Structure 1
Amino acid sequence: MNFKALFPPLPGVTATGAALFLEPIMGSGERLCVGLAAVLADNTYRVAPVLRRETARCLVGEKADSLLGLMQVGLDSLDSHLERGENLASWTPPMQGLTLGPLAQGHVEDLPMMLRAMARNHAFLATLAAFDATEQGEPSSDDEAEADIEWLKRVRHAVQTRRPALDGHFGRRIKLRNVRGETRIDYFGSRLAAQLCRLTPGASISRHVRTAKSKLWDLEALRDIGTDGVFRPASYELLIYRPRDDDPSYSERQIARLHDALSELEAAGDRQQLRVRPVQTVNDAASRIIEAEAA
């Protein structure tokens, strides 16, 4: 009997992966999985964080930035190592407290599949929320509002670092012509008016969509009604953060829902003749603002 015929064929892509561990207290022996790396046979690779800012703040409070900074040192070093075409096993940690776990090999369909498999096997914190069969309880509105504010602060800081003169255009309150009250515009420059928001998978994604649509309406009003002044920017855009498709913190089902929500927002933007521009990092958003103002 051909026993192989009884089993489905293995996926055709061979991958090697490893987890990145951080020892928060030097010499304690306690390790936390903070990142993942996966490499395909053709040297295509991906390095991804596991520890998210919200989780880090729950763990260590005000020391979250320090913890995330140490994680990023390891991720950046791994990324540079693999970008040079080096073998994953030959990576040398740039500092004490960072270590690479045992290498694992498997047959997968693509890099995201390998990253998710590694997360399930090594990353307790990622597994808590990202790979459950059902959605977790919805985060509180206070937590979401704080995360939105933090995202805007980080983009503003990135722009201010590269173009200090643009800092004054953030957090503007605009008086629309013949409209009571003021409208808050996250960025109102000489050539670009932009609202910034986030779209992350999970139980709060519907709230993110509502917030994004509200910001689109504000942009539409700003463009069509105008301000008490004569000045109008040339471009009106919604810069919306979205995680990468291969982010191991989210399941395939959550990423699929993210795509649906993003398509819904892009369709809404098209109807209002407004640009919905997805960004995946703080630097992506900052670069778009700087580029628009330099045009």
Structure 2
Amino acid sequence: MTTPSLAPWRALFWEPVAGTGERLMVGVVYHFGEGWGGRRILRDDVLTALYGKAADGARKLIDVALEMYVAAARAGGSLDRLDVSLGGLHPSELRETAALSVNDLLRIAALQYSSLANLDALDDADESDGPGDEEITRRFSTDIRQAVTNLRPELRQYFGRTSVLVEGGELVRFGYASTRVLAHFSVLNPLRHGASLRDARGRLWELDKGRRVGRQPKAALISGMQRDDDPVLGDRQRARLHEMRHELGREAESAGVIFRTVVSAESGAGQLIELETA
């Protein structure tokens, strides 16, 4: 699976009524990859409940203060010294979190500090937040190959082999191709559910065609996905994962392809070895 990046960040708090000491987490300032950023994550309905028609003004004040923190972090090249109040916001202690993307980082921050964050809004991830689907799948496949090699070194030779989909056609590379099992690997990403489904369906089609030519008794798609109880998943993301798993399971069954979902490369390796030896 994708290797998380260690990202520094500070939660930012706002005191709706000055002097009361009652603060709400409204956003996060962070450094992820090569970039500095800030995001307001407080739900809009909270501000509306507090300020009514004046809520838009409160949002603008918070956004301006967030921009001040981002500018200060970028100018100083660090979050270390941003332990002072700016624009009416107050920072938390500096923290570091392993995250797969900016939205992943924001969800983790929200779960640690705030029950009033708009987690569903974080489901609409920017495609540039993390590595592309091909890179994620390539890493997942590499990790499965290594895990299988550790347990059954004689099976390493079958990874990355090519076959044809029709007699006399172009060679297509499969994740794994032995005399018993033809397999592809994929990753189901709820942040890119459309692309994940297209990729998995394409692999199912290749498996269906490839096994007819190669005459392997088994064809399998092994897909990595997050655990259902992963705390960084929002409700919409969890629903997307269930939908993808259900749809792909039905399509695989109709094509006579085995479909397995796993939560780690080690589990994927175990599934592949089981198919090879059963």
Aligned residue identity for 1:32 = E
- SS of the residue corresponding to residue 223 of structure 1 reads helix
Aligned residue identity for 2:171 = E
Number of the residue aligned with 1:242: 225
How far did residue 273 of structure 1 move?
1.6
Question: Structure 2: 5+ residue runs without aligned partners?
Answer: 1-92
Number of the residue aligned with 1:217: 205
State how 1:251-266 maps to structure 2 within 5 Å. Answer: 251-266=234-249
Number of the residue aligned with 2:64: none
Native 8 Å contact 2:123 2:237 kept in 1: no
- SS of the residue corresponding to residue 124 of structure 2 reads coil
Residue 282 to residue 134, structure 1, CA distance change in 2 (3 Å): closer
Q: 1:207 aligns with which of 178, 192, 195?
A: 195
How far did residue 30 of structure 1 move?
5.0
How far did residue 176 of structure 1 move?
4.2
Q: CA deviation digits over 1:14-40, x for unaligned, max 9?
A: xxxxxxxxxxxxxxx95324xxxxxxx
How far did residue 223 of structure 1 move?
2.0
Q: CA deviation digits over 1:216-256, x for unaligned, max 9?
A: 000110122x14xxxx3221111011111111222011101
Residue 128 to residue 209, structure 1, CA distance change in 2 (3 Å): farther
Instruction: Measure, in 2, the Cα distance between the counterparts of 1:242 and 1:281.
Output: 8
TM-score by length of 2: 0.58
Number of the residue aligned with 1:89: none
Q: 1:138 aligns with which of 127, 130, 136?
A: 127
Aligned residue identity for 2:208 = E
Q: CA deviation digits over 1:165-219, x for unaligned, max 9?
A: 11111111113452421122111123211110010211x1100100000000001
State how 1:83-94 maps to structure 2 within 5 Å. Answer: none
Number of the residue aligned with 1:184: 173
TM-score by length of 1: 0.55
Instruction: Measure, in 2, the Cα distance between the counterparts of 1:191 and 1:129.
Output: 48
Native 8 Å contact 1:130 1:249 kept in 2: no
The structure having more radius of gyration, on CA atoms, is 2
> Does residue 1:122 correspond to 2:112, yes or no?
yes
Instruction: Measure, in 1, the Cα distance between the counterparts of 2:230 and 2:164.
Output: 40
Instruction: Measure, in 2, the Cα distance between the counterparts of 1:149 and 1:30.
Output: 34
Native 8 Å contact 2:165 2:172 kept in 1: yes
Instruction: Measure, in 2, the Cα distance between the counterparts of 1:143 and 1:159.
Output: 25
Question: Structure 1: 5+ residue runs without aligned partners?
Answer: 1-28, 34-50, 60-115
Residue 123 to residue 145, structure 1, CA distance change in 2 (3 Å): farther
How far did residue 280 of structure 1 move?
1.1
- SS of the residue corresponding to residue 132 of structure 1 reads helix
* Structure 1 stretches of at least 4 aligned residues deviating more than 3 Å after TM superposition: 52-55, 127-131, 139-142
> Does residue 1:170 correspond to 2:234, yes or no?
no
Native 8 Å contact 1:131 1:250 kept in 2: no
State how 1:51-130 maps to structure 2 within 5 Å. Answer: 51-53=98-100, 120-122=110-112
Q: CA deviation digits over 1:248-276, x for unaligned, max 9?
A: 22201110111112111111112212121
Instruction: Measure, in 2, the Cα distance between the counterparts of 1:176 and 1:243.
Output: 31
Q: 2:138 aligns with which of 149, 154, 173?
A: 149
Aligned residue identity for 2:218 = S
Number of the residue aligned with 1:198: 187
Number of the residue aligned with 1:281: 264
